[in-house]
Structure 1
Amino acid sequence: MEYTTLGNTGLRVSKLGLGGAPIGNVFRPADETEVEKMIHEAVDGGINFIDTAPRYGNGESERRIGKALRGGRRSGVVLATKAVGADEAFDYAGTIRSVERSLKLLDTDWVDLLQIHDVEQTSYETVMNETLPALEKLRAEGKIRFIGVSTRNLKLLQTYIATNRFDCIQSYARYMLIDHTAKDELLPLASASGVGVINGSVLGLGLLADMPAAFLREPIVAEAARRIEKLAFLRHTAPYGLVEPAMRFSLSEPGIHVTLTGAGSREVLRSNMAMCDGRGLEPEERRRVFELFQGQSLFPAE
């Protein structure tokens, strides 16, 4: 397992992090006993960063993670969750309620990182005047250590970095083999600002695993398929031949501190952990990937 420091937070984190969406049955049912064993194996195997959210299974992911971390494992984990829940407002009171509920479900007195979830769903004014002050109050009370923001919208992330009030950002599906637009402005800005970077959905919401998420619109799936055809030089095995190069592409990027991977079983976990060995794409492969789709987002303008 490889480790790095999450921006200016001082937190020493594994470059491979465990994402909580599959743990909360977001994509398909995951057996609770298997999930608990998987979390134990992840922590024992060196993964010390776990990211979840109240929206993952309406708190089920948080509950399962909290249960699995009992018995002494919590102290060795950098634990991250988000606010607010699916049916909660981004206002001051709603943010406080969301975090307090998360702490109870996670069975912990504090979380290391609290991120504003899908920040594009509310206004900048609400975040700066309501959500963020609530999180800063909770930080002063010792219930959270660091504050972050998450969204797929790169311009929004740059806007929030510029406030100098966030310790970390999380984007998803914006630094992957078929859309690497985060590298152009976001990663250099985060690095210059000392902001930690978490990269999610390196498989493009299932597109690079030949299993696109059901909610993806057909034009995006079709465009992704066109781009994937141009990556045949990376496809070494079937049927999921782009999973390993997609993971290594993110894990080897110095500007990314944590690459999140979802797993609902120990088998998937072991496969993912095997890729965190310091080996990225070959230089020529990396060059070809960057030349493809330069500056071309897979998603509509945001």
Structure 2
Amino acid sequence: MGRRLMEYTALGKTNFHVSRLGLGGAPLGGDYGDVTDEQAIRVIDAALDFGINFIDTAPLYGGGESERRVGLALKGKRNRVILATKAVVRGVPYTYENTLRSVEESLKRLQTDYLDLIQLHELESVSYEEAMEGTIEAFLKLKREGTVRAIGVNAGQLNRLLPFVREGTIDTIQTFGRYTLLDYTARDELLPLTRYANVGVIHGSPLCMGLLTEQPAPFLYKYPDKLAEGERRKQQLEFLRKGKSNGLVEPAMRFSLACPDIAVTLTGTTSVEELTRNVTYCDGKGLSAEDESRVLALFPGQPLQ
């Protein structure tokens, strides 16, 4: 079933042919609740069976546990995926040496000798100059050597991504929660710029950190204003529910998956059932033209802070 449904596209200027739905690695590391090796392997195996060929992880997730579990699951199957991870863990300086060390440790956990994509994790933690002189310079060395095939940067704050796209060195960007039913500010400046520069776009958290489900991510309760604003915006999206329980999940997934400027929409899960459901939305059908117009008229230029 999954293989018949799955859509594929090009990831920017890379030569990667990627599934529109990718598997995000944070839950596999236990960041959202306890998970066993067996659970993680079961989800990854199911993803491969469904035709998902893009897996995104990071050393930050579960303190390396996500990478280790991905490595376990991909034994003998490494050539079936575009494998992406990130470099330099929060709190560690983004120097050239630290970046090389971070990648070396990731390769060991992932049980591979090359990465398809390496991304600078959390641009919010480093200045543009430091990133270019340290981490990006290290990435370029690794790319010349063939240890990595493509390089990218990751940030939640869209303004941190723009100078890297303009500079022209990177192949991909990754952001999260910025092309959702509650916040679609990526379409204002970032997506037109990536389209012009042919930089591949990876979008995480299409459900806006759970705000578009009945169970927002626990950490959001530390930000009551954001939670309240998210709930206020959800009330204006009632027309999308179509009377269904948890009825914003499908339109939210379709909204991101159908965006022509987003190559990969990530789903993070430890549930084969949830993964199976999300795969069914990979049939090329977005929101109706009328529903999309109504959504885009609600919160133009208004980031969910």
> Which of the five TM-score ranges fits, normalised by the shorter chain?
over 0.9
Distance 1:202 1:265 in 2: 17
Corresponding letter in the other structure for 2:170: F
Offset of 1:31 from its aligned partner? Answer: 2.7
Distance 1:88 1:269 in 2: 33
Distance 1:164 1:106 in 2: 29
> Which of 113, 117, 120 does residue 124 from structure 2 map onto?
120
Aligned to 2:49: 44
Distance 1:34 1:277 in 2: 27
Trace 1:75-224 onto structure 2 (pairs within 5 A). Answer: 75-216=79-220, 217-224=223-230
Aligned to 1:24: 29
Trace 1:198-277 onto structure 2 (pairs within 5 A). Answer: 198-216=202-220, 217-277=223-283
How many positions carry a matched residue from both structures? 298
Q: Is this contact kept in 2: 1:48–1:77, CA < 8 A?
A: yes
Distance 2:277 2:243 in 1: 14
> Kindly, what percent of the aligned residue pairs are identical?
52
> Which of 266, 279, 286 does residue 280 from structure 1 map onto?
286
> Which of 8, 16, 19 does residue 3 from structure 1 map onto?
8
For residues 129-188 of structure 1, the C-alpha deviation after alignment (integer angstroms, 9 at most, x for no partner) is 111111111112211110000001111111110110100000101100000000011101
Offset of 1:238 from its aligned partner? Answer: 4.5
Q: Is this contact kept in 2: 1:58–1:86, CA < 8 A?
A: no
Aligned to 2:3: none
Corresponding letter in the other structure for 2:36: D
Distance 1:211 1:239 in 2: 12
Aligned to 1:14: 19
Larger mean CA deviation between 202-211 and 233-242 belongs to 233-242
Aligned to 2:78: 74
Q: Is this contact kept in 1: 2:90–2:125, CA < 8 A?
A: no
Offset of 1:89 from its aligned partner? Answer: 2.0
Q: State the SS of the aligned residue for 1:27.
A: coil
Offset of 1:87 from its aligned partner? Answer: 4.5
Offset of 1:279 from its aligned partner? Answer: 1.0
Distance 1:90 1:25 in 2: 25
Unaligned 5+ residue runs, structure 1? none
Distance 2:91 2:273 in 1: 34
Offset of 1:38 from its aligned partner? Answer: 1.5
Corresponding letter in the other structure for 1:248: R
Q: State the SS of the aligned residue for 1:108.
A: coil
Unaligned 5+ residue runs, structure 2? 1-5
Q: Is this contact kept in 1: 2:12–2:198, CA < 8 A?
A: yes
Corresponding letter in the other structure for 1:296: Q
Corresponding letter in the other structure for 2:247: G
For residues 222-270 of structure 1, the C-alpha deviation after alignment (integer angstroms, 9 at most, x for no partner) is 0010000000000135442111110000000000000001110211110
Q: Is this contact kept in 1: 2:230–2:304, CA < 8 A?
A: yes
Q: State the SS of the aligned residue for 1:208.
A: coil
Q: Is this contact kept in 1: 2:90–2:122, CA < 8 A?
A: no
Distance 2:36 2:298 in 1: 39
Distance 2:259 2:273 in 1: 25
Offset of 1:88 from its aligned partner? Answer: 2.7
Q: State the SS of the aligned residue for 1:209.
A: coil
Structure 1 residues 237, 34: closer, same or farther in 2, change over 3 A?
farther
Q: Which runs of 4+ in 1 moved over 3 A?
A: none
TM-score, length-normalised on structure 2? 0.96
Distance 2:244 2:219 in 1: 24
Corresponding letter in the other structure for 1:141: E
Distance 2:271 2:37 in 1: 10
Aligned to 2:303: 297
Distance 2:70 2:22 in 1: 13
Q: Is this contact kept in 2: 1:148–1:170, CA < 8 A?
A: yes
Q: State the SS of the aligned residue for 1:260.
A: strand
Corresponding letter in the other structure for 1:285: D
Q: Is this contact kept in 1: 2:123–2:153, CA < 8 A?
A: yes
